[in-house]
Amino acid sequence: MLRSCQTSACRVSHYQRVAPHLLLIVLTLATLGRHETPPPAPSYDGRAGQLTVQVPRVETEIGIDGTLDAPTWAQAARLTGFSQFLPLDGVPAADSTVVLMFATRHAIYFGIRAYEAHGPVHATLADRDKISADDYVQILLDTSHDHRTAYVFGVNPLGVQADGILSEGTQARGINGIASATARDTVDFSTDYTYDTRGHVTDYGYEVTIRIPFASIRFSSGAKQQWRLNVLRQVQHSGYVDTWAPARLANASFLAQSGTIEGLTDLSRGTVLDVNPELTSTTSGNPGPNGWRYGVQPLHPGGNIKWGLTDNLTLDGTARPDFSQIEADVPQIVYDPRQAVFFPEKRPFFLDGLEQFDASVGVGPTSNLIYTRRIIQPDGAVKLTGELGGASVGLLSAIDASSASLDGREHPIINALRVRRELGDGLTVGVVGTDREDGSLYNHVGGVDMRLVFGDIYDVRAQGVLSSTHSDSVHGNGGLWDLLFERNGHRLRLTYRLTGVDPHFVDDAGYIARAGVVTGTLDNTLIFYGKPRSLFESYTFNFTQWTTWRYGDFEALHRGEDVRWHFSNTLALRGGWQLYQDVFFETYGYDPTLYESYYVAKRTLTGIDTVHFDASAKNGNLPNLDLGSGFITPRWKGFDVAFQAFTGVDDNYYEWSSAWLFDVNATINWRPTDRSRISLIYAQHQLVRRSNGTQVYVRRVPYLEVAYQLARPIFVRFIGQYNAVAQANLRDDGRTNDPILMRDPTTGTFTPAAHYVANNVSGSFLFSYQPTPGTVFFLGYNGAYTEPWSFNFTGLTRTSDSFFIKLTYLFHLGNGR
């Protein structure tokens, strides 16, 4: 039988015996609690304004397998509270997204849980950068904290990558050429970076893991880093775009609305030293007098090297790069022969860090003082890009092939420098300089520019440039100036611009759309928004007036040579539908410099008299009226379509007269399986004389691309293109109707501008194995054909073909991966 303690002495003795045991039990339970229940991971709600993220530091690297099961992910910071950005900003996202993030000394990690409660997941095994029709997530990192550019690391639900650079001010444009009212900056996917991604579809949506090594990016020097961050999610079944940091369309800067990453300390890129040798072999065939002959060209060795001088300064070099295997440029239909044609850069050496050389003021390739396509086939080149002394720097020097020289013997030397620095309070200043030496001939260009962002929605830019040239046709100095004002409001958006290019201004290392003119732009956009989740999402009305003066006429305050009034209407409907309706009123003035080689075989009572072509008396100005319609479908899982058609009265530059216009541009993208893609593009430009209904010019270009993804790094592709052009015998249409002759300025002889037909067909096959950027194996074939009758396919004659093999391997000699 147990007895209880009744006296004080008994109770004290009892407590003395029991207390040590109780204390041991309490300490044991507390210790077990610490191991079983770690402290909660920090969480940052974007809609709640929690946009400063303290990134947890983890000392151990983990594998990337597409799942978030590893215990390390429990320590990661959680980004939640996404907001809809497109088509209507400022409302909570319909589908929730959770982003996990932590860093090690050598890399930053992201884990994504994307919930799809309202529709199916769109995911295909696509080639790199070909995920625009899939669901995807993009990580935007502004590592320089300058609000101008940001790295973009994208991934679809299966882990397929799409990466590049987002540059401030590169607005998306619709099929009618008008800057979209429901989109902001677009991404240039030309450059590929090395990072690891894996993903898979789940029953709730999809899950993705990403590891971005610091060796793959540049960032400011210093023990403590502060980066700008945003996460963008594209939901294809609804057409919505969500962002973690709430972003408003009514803002002059998309990147300035990002969140901030803090807690990044003692980061290490390691030693970045990449060597990328390449070897190319080409066999070409051409018809000869004794039949078809093939010639095997010698093996072409070349290579690139990359050296990370500092955390944010990289030196690149190339020697004898072979660009023969680069995909050909898509033919562009020229509507105004006075405008130079712009082709985007596609060559790997020039792509990396290309954003550092951007020296344009406004949107669109009106002028860019550094245009690397001017370097034709360099024997060697070096490039320095990154940040130096708080300024972004791009320095390029190249020795071009002798074929780029005027006399075919010299090796032109091209140098380009671009420096920009943010001075605070939204003010950025920059300088640009280029130099091209071709023997005794030279072209020097130098200029300054500035950008001021204020009041969140206002943007002012200005640029002034001078050139000094000694060439076969120009000997003297000239100037270029550019002024731009933008208001990017929620309902009212304005872009006013005035650009002048002196007739003596030359930039042999840049792109100038047209010299010797002044162009004024008044772009006015009014936007009406529907209610969230309604059928009607937005209606955009745009009125743009362009006026072009000859430079001397502008200085003398004379009227403009060309005046264009464009009225455009865009209706955006739920799910991604866009409908377009445009009306263009235009007046083009006669430009005698375009017809310097034109003559007319004028019939007289005594015979034929050859006189210079001059249409200014009767057709000094050509009035145009064009009507356009088009639509874009949603990006459904299986296909999407874009279509645009224009018709009306337009200018016939071939004879400087008025003509009926029939233009079509259409694109169909079909994805029959998760591994296959078929794209069909058709473009047509047709002019019919109003005087008698005969056709003066037509160009039709169908383009077919078929690709199949065997595995994530392997695909096969076929591209077929038909370029059919027909031009009638040119005549002095609507005036004397006499034949037009072309005068050769060298010999002084005259040749009739006779009817011609060109039906060129090309086809190419490519097998590509690219496990990582820089390591590739290409096996390809290109064939060219022609035929006398367009789209007949019974009289095809092969004109040339070639086979090529390219092998490159990227050696990471440093320790930064």
- Retrieve residue 176's tokens: 């009618």
Q: Quick one: pLDDT at residue 483?
A: 95
Identify any residues that bridge with 580 across adjacent strands, giving them in sequence order. 570, 630
The answer to whether residue 36 scores a pLDDT higher than 80 is no
The answer to whether residue 32 scores a pLDDT higher than 70 is no
Q: Quick one: pLDDT at residue 1?
A: 36
Q: Which of helix, strand or coil describes residue 618?
A: helix
* Dist CA 671 CA 10 (whole Å): 87
Q: Which pLDDT band holds residue 33 (cuts at 50, 70, 90)?
A: very low
Q: Quick one: pLDDT at residue 270?
A: 87
140-149, 367-376, 780-789: which has the minimum mean pLDDT?
140-149
Q: Which of helix, strand or coil describes residue 304?
A: strand
The answer to whether residue 23 scores a pLDDT higher than 50 is no
The answer to whether residue 5 scores a pLDDT higher than 70 is no
Contacts of 366 (CB under 8 A, 6+ apart): 360, 499, 513, 519
As a residue count, the chain comes to 817
Strand order in the sheet with 196-201: 43-45, 77-80, 97-103, 107-115, 205-213, 196-201
- Retrieve residue 669's tokens: 């993208």
* Dist CA 34 CA 43 (whole Å): 20
Contacts of 369 (CB under 8 A, 6+ apart): 359, 360, 432, 434, 445, 447, 465, 507, 509, 510
Query: Over the stretch 276-293, which tens digit does the pLDDT of each residue have?
Result: 999 999 999 988 888 888
Within its chain, how far is the Cα of 597 from the centroid?
Answer: 38
Query: Over the stretch 296-346, which tens digit does the pLDDT of each residue have?
Result: 888 889 999 999 999 889 999 999 998 877 777 777 788 888 888 888 898
Provide the pairing of β-strand 205-213 with 811-812.
Answer: unpaired
Q: Which pLDDT band holds residue 461 (cuts at 50, 70, 90)?
A: very high
Mean pLDDT (whole number) for 248-275: 91
Mean pLDDT (whole number) for 4-24: 44
- Retrieve residue 244's tokens: 């973690």
Q: What is the mean pLDDT of the chain?
A: 89
- Retrieve residue 426's tokens: 């939204």
Contacts of 790 (CB under 8 A, 6+ apart): 700, 724, 726, 757, 759
Mean pLDDT (whole number) for 67-79: 95
- DSSP states of 545-574 as a string? EEEEEEHHHHHTTPPPSEEEEEEEEEEEET
Q: What percent of the chain has pLDDT over 90?
A: 72
Q: Which pLDDT band holds residue 273 (cuts at 50, 70, 90)?
A: very high
Q: Does 169 or 90 have the greater pLDDT score?
A: 90
pTM, rounded to two decimals: 0.88
Identify any residues that bridge with 584 across adjacent strands, giving them in sequence order. 566, 626
* Dist CA 279 CA 299 (whole Å): 7
* Dist CA 349 CA 302 (whole Å): 12
Query: Over the stretch 359-397, which tens digit does the pLDDT of each residue have?
Result: 887 655 567 899 999 999 999 999 999 988 889 999 999
13-17, 548-552, 735-739: which has the minimum mean pLDDT?
13-17
Q: Which of helix, strand or coil describes residue 62?
A: coil
CA pseudo-torsion sign 163, 165, 169, 173: negative
Query: Over the stretch 434-443, which tens digit does the pLDDT of each residue have?
Result: 999 999 999 9
Q: Which pLDDT band holds residue 453 (cuts at 50, 70, 90)?
A: very high
Q: What percent of the chain has pLDDT over 70?
A: 92
Q: Quick one: pLDDT at residue 15?
A: 39
What are the angstrom distances between the C-alpha of 586 and each of 469, 562, 624, 648, 658? Answer: 35, 8, 5, 11, 12
Mean pLDDT (whole number) for 132-158: 92
Give the residue from 800, 805, 775, 809 showing the smallest Cα distance to 281.
805
The answer to whether residue 503 scores a pLDDT higher than 80 is yes
* Dist CA 495 CA 186 (whole Å): 18
Q: Quick one: pLDDT at residue 181?
A: 53
* Phi, psi (deg, nearest 5) at residue 478: -155, 165
Query: Over the stretch 462-495, which tens digit does the pLDDT of each residue have?
Result: 999 999 999 888 889 999 999 999 999 989 999 9
The answer to whether residue 27 scores a pLDDT higher than 50 is no
The answer to whether residue 564 scores a pLDDT higher than 80 is yes
* Dist CA 247 CA 258 (whole Å): 8
Note whether 299 and 281 are within 8 A (CB).
Answer: yes
Mean pLDDT (whole number) for 723-752: 94
Q: Quick one: pLDDT at residue 4?
A: 41
Alpha helices in 572-620 (DSSP H): 616-619
Residue 8 host element (H or E): helix 8-36
Query: Over the stretch 102-113, which tens digit does the pLDDT of each residue have?
Result: 999 999 999 999
Q: Quick one: pLDDT at residue 174?
A: 54
* Dist CA 102 CA 74 (whole Å): 10
Residue type, 811: F
- Retrieve residue 573's tokens: 């409907």
Query: Over the stretch 158-214, which tens digit does the pLDDT of each residue have?
Result: 999 999 999 886 665 555 555 555 556 788 898 899 999 999 999 999 999 999 999
Q: Quick one: pLDDT at residue 795?
A: 86
